Amino acid sequence: MSTSAPLLEVHDLRISFGGVHALDGASFAVMPGATTGLIGPNGAGKTTVFNRVSGLLGTGSGRVTFAGRDITRQRPEQISRAGLVRSFQLARGCEQMTVFEHLMLYGPRQPGEGLLRGLRSGPAVRRQEEALRERALAMARRLRLSEVLDNLVVKLSGGQKKLLEIGRVLLAEPKMILLDEPMAGVNPSLVQEIADHLVAIRQSGITILLIEHEMELIERLCDDVVVMAAGRFLTRGSFAEVSANRQVQESYLGLRRQ
Amino acid sequence: MITYLLFLGTLAGIYAILALGLVVSWGQAGMVNLGLAGFFGLGAYASAILSGAGVPIGLAWCLATLLSAAAGIAFCLLTRTLRGDYLAIVTLGFAEGLRLVETNERWLTGGSDGISGIRAPLKSLLPDAFPSLYLAVTWAVVAVAVVLLARLLRSPFGRALRAVRDDEQVAAVAGKSVMRLKCQAFGIGAALFGIAGAVYAHFTSYIAPDNFGVQITIYIFLAATAGGYSRLVGAVAGALAVMTILEASRLAATAIPGLDAVEIAALREFAIAVALILIIQWRPDGMFRMTNQRAGTRPVARPVAADVHS
């Protein structure tokens, strides 16, 4: 790990839903350029951290800073525009929109989304739309989605939905991405394909925070692993370090004595 | 007979403007507005009162449209935490509340007597040509609205709006200002309802709170549903279809012997209800299905294949 400042810092997040402490003082940091795994048993609060960091959950206490800016109280669209973009675990999408429209939707800084400039649809807007279209088509080729560009997302296979999740997040030109189980429920050969994409994304300089249950993938992909249990930070380190940690083993196996 | 057809044609045009407003706010942005009769009435009363106070009719139309749009945006901001059915119920309450204001604020609206003798453009100059002129003016408003909306909904603005309709959280994560888009869509819808009201008021020259009840809302929902609720062409076709059902059922009812006027009116409402149920059962997409922006990589999309796969 380098000695530079962390890109994302999560400090003492606490959220409870009706008496259940979903997050109970979660703190960790993510270094720029690294792929960090976020692991922990079911119910550890991993997805809740994502929801809180990405602004979809605006409640609770604690602090989140991204690239030196406090984003704790910012709205999801502000956080995405700042360069921190998330994917969804269940590969959510706009059910009446196509793959192509999803890719186009994520294009950043589109002046044509303004009411008056959209109405005018002048040369500048049309040029940007064409440039965005080229990027969307290139992304579709890279993810092998070219054949299904005009399909509605509800007609895609589970694996194609996962690929589209990654593609649209990348179209937003992020500094950092939050990936929530990008390989869950897809066939083994596609898992390898997605893993290769993640390696390529890392090499392009994008920081990744990855929730994943498959430990082989965590070992292969992650420079650094953060372990959560019961809504808190448990430990962090290389994969070898955390997998040798007795506390981590106990939290997964549920043997921890009170 | 000609006068009757011109009257129906103008009314159908007004329904088309209303249905266009519903397509924008409901079909494209996903906000059910059961209060469209309220905005329709707001536009009608505003234009009638303003022109009665001496404001030129064209200016009164513009002001009525702006007022309705502003009311729509304010309403959208006030109800920003509501979605789906909850928003729908509140919009219905808004329309009913406005109708109560129209009924009770006699100093402004004339109460249940309404406002009569509303000036109409060119009527005094060209009394004979007025019905056909007004038909042309009404459909010119429809045409301008369709052209502008088609441009807008094809642009990135329209795409962002449809994302908000399908999943607000996905749209927000994609970096879209969900609240701004919703207010703009709701405001455009309200503006169209308002201008339809203004056109209506100067057409019939008489308005009363009864004109702006739930009934008109149901007609327009039927129009949008029948035509295809996300399509501009569907709004226009649906408005014509509703007008046809309404008038056909009137003629059909007079053919049945032994019915009085009240029973005939009830039969027309019945025909509308049956039509709505049949459409939802058999063709919920309406006449014109939803369309999507094409990637343009397939030969079918373009006559000359631009193959980007090579």
- Say what the pLDDT of residue A58 is: 85
Q: Side by side, which strands form the sheet with A69-70?
A: A20-30, A8-17, A61-66, A69-70
pLDDT digits (tens, 9 = 90+) for A54-82: 999 988 899 999 999 999 999 999 999 99
- Given CB atoms, is B74 within the 8 Å cutoff of chain A? no
Q: Cβ–Cβ of A94/B154 closer than 8 Å?
A: no
Catalogue the E-assigned strands of chain A. Answer: 8-17, 20-30, 35-39, 61-66, 69-70, 84-86, 176-180, 207-211, 224-229, 232-237
Q: How many structural domains is chain B composed of? A: 1
Structural domain harbouring B230: 2-308
Residue in B157, B167, B178 to test binding to A, most A beta-carbons within 10 Å: B157
Q: Does B182 touch chain A (CB under 8 A)?
A: no
Q: Residues of A with CB below 8 A from B174's CB?
A: 77, 80, 105-106, 168, 172
Q: What is the pLDDT of residue A255?
A: 52
Q: What is the CATH number of the domain that holds B155?
A: 1.10.3470
Residue B174 and residue A152: Cβ atoms within 8 Å?
Answer: no
In chain B, what residues touch A101 (CB-CB under 8 Å)?
Answer: 159, 162-163, 292-293
The verdict on pTM exceeding 0.80 is: yes
Question: Residues A177, A198: contact at Cβ < 8 Å?
Answer: no
B292 touches chain A (CB under 8 A): yes
Contact across the interface for A56 and B184, Cβ inside 8 Å: no
Asked if residue B196 lies in contact with residue B40, where contact means CB atoms within 8 angstroms, the answer is yes
**Which DSSP string corresponds to A188-220?**
HHHHHHHHHHHHHHHHTT-EEEEE-S-HHHHHH
The rounded distance, in Å, linking the Cα atoms of B25 and B91 is 12
Residue numbers in chain A where pLDDT is lower than 70: 1-3, 254-258
**Cβ contact B293–A141 (<8 Å):** no
Say yes or no for a CB contact (<8 Å) between A112 and B155: yes
Q: pLDDT (tens digit, 9 = 90+) per residue, A180-203?
A: 999 988 899 999 999 999 999 999
Check residue B276 and give its pLDDT.
85
pLDDT in 10s for each residue of chain B, 310 residues: 888 999 999 999 999 999 999 999 999 999 999 999 999 999 999 999 999 999 999 999 999 999 999 999 999 999 998 888 999 999 999 999 999 999 999 999 999 899 999 998 877 778 888 999 999 999 999 999 999 999 999 999 999 999 999 999 999 999 999 999 999 999 999 999 999 999 999 999 999 999 999 999 999 999 999 999 999 999 999 999 999 998 888 888 888 888 888 888 888 888 888 988 898 899 888 999 888 999 887 654 444 434 444 3
Per-residue H/E/C for chain B: CHHHHHHHHHHHHHHHHHHHHHHHHHHHCCCCCCCHHHHHHHHHHHHHHHHHCCCCHHHHHHHHHHHHHHHHHHHHHHCCCCCHHHHHHHHHHHHHHHHHHHHHCHHHHCHHHCEECCCCCCCCCCCCCHHHHHHHHHHHHHHHHHHHHHHHHHCHHHHHHHHHHHCHHHHHHCCCCHHHHHHHHHHHHHHHHHHHHHHHHHHHCEECHHHHCHHHHHHHHHHHHHHCCCCHHHHHHHHHHHHHHHHHHHHHHHHCCCCCHHHHHHHHHHHHHHHHHHHHHHCCCCCCCCCCCCCCCCCCCCCCCCCCCC
Contact B292 A76 (CB under 8 A): no
